[in-house]
A and B are shown apart, each in its own frame.
Chain A
Amino acid sequence: MFKLKFILPLALFFALVILLAVGLRLNPREVPSPLVGRPAPAFTLPSLLKPEQSITPDIFQGRVSLFNVWASWCVACRQEHPYLMQLAREGVTLYGLDYKDTREAGLGWLDKLGNPYRQVLFDESGKAGIDWGVYGVPETFVIDKQGIIRYKHIGPITPKDWEEKIGPLVRYLEKQP
């Protein structure tokens, strides 16, 4: 009894330390998306490069793709961009959504830094962004061959994210019918 009296508070203290330590390591910016497991939200958006062309979620049919939300005003996107260029060279299908941007700034960005995207959608008002649950660019969705969202990544994709999570998922989805 005498021993328990001293050990119990100590044990409670360490349990609290562990709880708080785990809490500190979680990233509060990573809010799980309710869109995972659902078809891509409907949209009809103009292409950034060809304003007269309108793009719908049909682009996702038949191939596994990454849907990357970016903007020319977004600092973290600049950090991510060279890695997207590398992924595109490796044969990964990327679609871009230029979010709450101006056409000139968006086009200037692609001219200067290169265009890793198969198609770039232009969402000037940010309404399509709301439908996709976007709250902090860059955000990247993994979309399967049926156009279903399989994963959402918040923040810039790092080589570590690709190797540990996104890459294996893309390879797995590519093997599916």
Chain B
Amino acid sequence: MKGRYFVLLLFFVLSVPFVHAGIEVREFPDARLEQRYHRLIGELRCLVCQNQSLADSNADLAEDLRDEVYAMLMAGKPDREIVAFLVARYGDFVLYRPPVKKTTLLLWLGPFAALLVAGWVLWRIGKARTPEPAAPLNEEEQQKVRKLLQQQNREEPGS
């Protein structure tokens, strides 16, 4: 039994290096540059595996683009210029946060519009389910009620 656990443990320990197989080891002169690098590749989208960022993707192209980003950072280019380099080649699609413009307006405002519509629908449903408060009884009706209650008490004295 102990041997089996040991094999399992060995499997997990040995598989750790493969988790980061796609991410190269990079040398940075200072920590801020490294931070910028990780932030950039985390925000740029890989075009091959479209739901992964450049940082996550193992695709060949993602590796090349990470190289490009690294080389531009080391050359002292500002983030804005690096992002512009990729947008010029691949379009706004590479950005996980595309700029607000005519073609992306639906993307930016759509969720808020959906929220407004959902709120309106909920409000309507809530309104339909609230019963109208009953009108107060007039003198005649109150007398009738009293009479009925007295009658009932006489009929069921024990209860």
> How near does chain B come to A24, taking the closest CB pair, in angstroms?
15
Most A CB atoms within 10 A — which of B47, B48, B61, B89? B89
**Residue of B whose beta carbon sits closest to that of A36:** B91
**Residue of B whose beta carbon sits closest to that of A35:** B89
Give chain B interface residues in 83-138, CB to chain A under 8 Å. Answer: 87-91, 93
Determine, out of A26-34, A42-50, A55-63, A165-173, the stretch whose residues face the partner at the interface. A26-34
A28 to B51, CA, bound (A): 11
B68 contacts A by Cβ under 8 Å: yes
Interface of A is mostly: loop
B142 contacts A by Cβ under 8 Å: no
B65 contacts A by Cβ under 8 Å: yes
> How near does chain B come to A136, taking the closest CB pair, in angstroms?
6
Residue among A29, A34, A100 making CB contact with B90, cutoff 8 Å: A34
A130 contacts B by Cβ under 8 Å: yes
**Residue of A whose beta carbon sits closest to that of B103:** A32
B60 contacts A by Cβ under 8 Å: yes
A148 to B64, CA, bound (A): 26
> How near does chain B come to A110, taking the closest CB pair, in angstroms?
22
A31→B48 contact, CB < 8 A: no
A126 contacts B by Cβ under 8 Å: yes
Interface residues on B, range: 10 to 19
**Residue of A whose beta carbon sits closest to that of B91:** A34
Chain A residues with CB under 8 Å of B91's CB are: 31-34, 133
B47→A130 contact, CB < 8 A: no
> How near does chain A come to B89, taking the closest CB pair, in angstroms?
4
B93→A132 contact, CB < 8 A: no
A13 contacts B by Cβ under 8 Å: no
27 A-B residue pairings within 8 Å (CB atoms): A28-B50, A29-B50, A31-B90, A31-B91, A33-B90, A33-B91, A34-B87, A34-B88, A34-B89, A34-B90, A34-B91, A35-B89, A100-B60, A125-B64, A126-B60, A127-B64, A130-B64, A130-B65, A130-B68, A131-B89, A132-B89, A133-B89, A133-B91, A134-B61, A135-B47, A135-B90, A136-B48
Beyond A34-B91, A125-B64, A135-B90, 20 additional pairs, beta carbon < 8 A: A28-B50, A31-B47, A31-B90, A32-B93, A33-B90, A33-B91, A34-B87, A34-B88, A34-B89, A126-B61, A127-B64, A130-B64, A130-B65, A130-B68, A131-B89, A133-B90, A133-B91, A135-B47, A135-B61, A136-B48
Mark A residues whose CB is within 8 Å of B: 28-29, 31-35, 100, 125-127, 130-136
The 4 closest A-B pairs by CB, nearest first: A135-B47, A133-B89, A34-B91, A31-B93
